[in-house]
Structure 1
């Protein structure tokens, strides 16, 4: 969706509310009593359960819950986040929205990033999976403090597991088979040990999958959690072929985060990765990406 389409479709608070309600009605509203049929009270922007008469606001149960910001502000922010591959910093979004206070914008953007991650967590990778780890630069986090690094602008490295789901495709003319990327996941790790890697595998990869890695000692137990574990010694050839897409993703993610946000605290790194991976997994959605983000808003609490 471009800026002209957005302003044509969402030119008022009422149009944003109508669009949001249409998506929420389609997904279904469930009362605490379990009933799914409601009356709509337009003056209160609330649903009233036909069974117990309890009211549920339009924002309730979504990531907009308890937010005093208007639907229009939320919609403009979702548009900005979905309009480009690179995204915007909270400071830039604040500037574009013309808001005086930074804190509400920062909180809103991080809520959306959390919703993106929660949406992707609903799915597991399957088939042929590439797995490796990358070290991302972070600023003034618990990592630096534990290592005794002090001072403004102190930086350290945060370990991140990157998983790339790929599928082999054969060129009809040459007969050459190449693996092409499908979906991705990125998970911040607290340590570089087998236990946490195993937990990451269990949470994010289907047990019938084939996983390709290098020969790191952290991967010794992976075979216990999936169908087949294939290992290769880490070298330039492995990076270009066996683990090609996972290394491209690590490189692109680092460049994207550094270029847009410059300095990221370790405790927020997962949220920034959520946004990067969410867009990467939906890179062919085009104009539908905005609507998908609205759905993530509703279901991502």
Structure 2
């Protein structure tokens, strides 16, 4: 199955960039028809250099895509019956990185909701006892959440409601407008984009990058209507992390967000999400 998917995508010779190869079954390798150099089946994929078998990787990809909540690395280790935790942890994080790389290929467009959420991260017990919550806390990490949303009429009620499409989530290094601007520009299609935010000072430059920027004072109406899908996503992600993972370090938070968003953006794929992750494995480096 993995070879079939890789053949569909194509193999590029690392030596001469040729795209036509022979398959050497006995070596599980491709041989370039031009320069005769060989490329292993794993080379250039997320599995590259891994000593874990294809079966272990496939079982892990199945577990990661089987449910909305997912599994912790510790639970995957238990399910696979492996003795060592470290290789499993590394494998799962490589797959999460591949998920993020795959989603980074796409940009949001049209009407976009944007806001920030504060996610609990690993910190000392003293920090949890003394630090304030929210912005500036050492126990929280600031994450920008963006959602494509379109206003459609509800057939039954006749009222206009926001319907969501795709999402993005990026960990921000600080609360300054500069960090927000760069992250935002990388996430959107700048043509014909309308962005809805609250009146945070982090968004002062957003109007420079889009057709229209609409900002509203942060209140209950903004949370439940204007930025509805962003706040639903923040709540669901936090609940997902609490139920599955514990004490997430800040430097790994983006990887956990990658997995959550990857599955959220493919929520209607059904069983096909597994095949999509195999493709992300091949192209995700």
Same fold (TM over 0.5): yes
Question: Aligned pair 1:201/2:184, yes or no?
Answer: yes
Pairing partner for 1:224 from 208, 215, 229:
208
User: Retained in 2: the 8 A contact 1:207–1:225?
Assistant: yes
1:206 deviation in Å?
Answer: 1.2
TM-score by length of 1: 0.89
- SS, match of residue 168 in structure 1: strand
- Aligned equivalents of 2:155, 2:267: Cα separation in 1: 26
- SS, match of residue 202 in structure 2: helix
Question: Aligned pair 1:25/2:7, yes or no?
Answer: yes
- Aligned equivalents of 1:172, 1:71: Cα separation in 2: 48
Question: Aligned pair 1:262/2:246, yes or no?
Answer: yes
Pairing partner for 1:73 from 56, 59, 80:
56
4+ runs deviating over 3 angstroms:
172-175
Deviations 1:185-234 (A, max 9, x none): 00000100110111011100111210000000110100111111000000
Which residue of the partner structure matches residue 220 of structure 2? Answer: 236
- Aligned equivalents of 2:49, 2:156: Cα separation in 1: 58
Which residue of the partner structure matches residue 271 of structure 1? Answer: 255
Pairing partner for 2:144 from 161, 177, 193:
161
Pairing partner for 1:51 from 34, 40, 54:
34
Which residue of the partner structure matches residue 140 of structure 1? Answer: 123
Question: Aligned pair 1:88/2:71, yes or no?
Answer: yes
**Alignment RMSD, CA only?**
1.8
Which residue of the partner structure matches residue 134 of structure 2? Answer: none
Pairing partner for 1:108 from 69, 77, 91:
91
Pairing partner for 1:211 from 175, 195, 204:
195
1:175 deviation in Å?
Answer: 3.2
1:132 deviation in Å?
Answer: 0.2
- For these two proteins, the number of residue pairs brought into alignment is 276
1:79 deviation in Å?
Answer: 0.3
- Aligned equivalents of 1:72, 1:174: Cα separation in 2: 50
- Aligned equivalents of 1:107, 1:45: Cα separation in 2: 24
Deviations 1:101-120 (A, max 9, x none): 00000000000000000000
Deviations 1:267-298 (A, max 9, x none): 00000000000000000100101000000000
- Aligned equivalents of 2:154, 2:121: Cα separation in 1: 41
Question: Aligned pair 1:62/2:7, yes or no?
Answer: no
Deviations 1:26-78 (A, max 9, x none): 01111121211100001111000000101000000000000011000000000
- Aligned equivalents of 1:110, 1:50: Cα separation in 2: 35
- SS, match of residue 139 in structure 2: strand
- SS, match of residue 139 in structure 1: coil
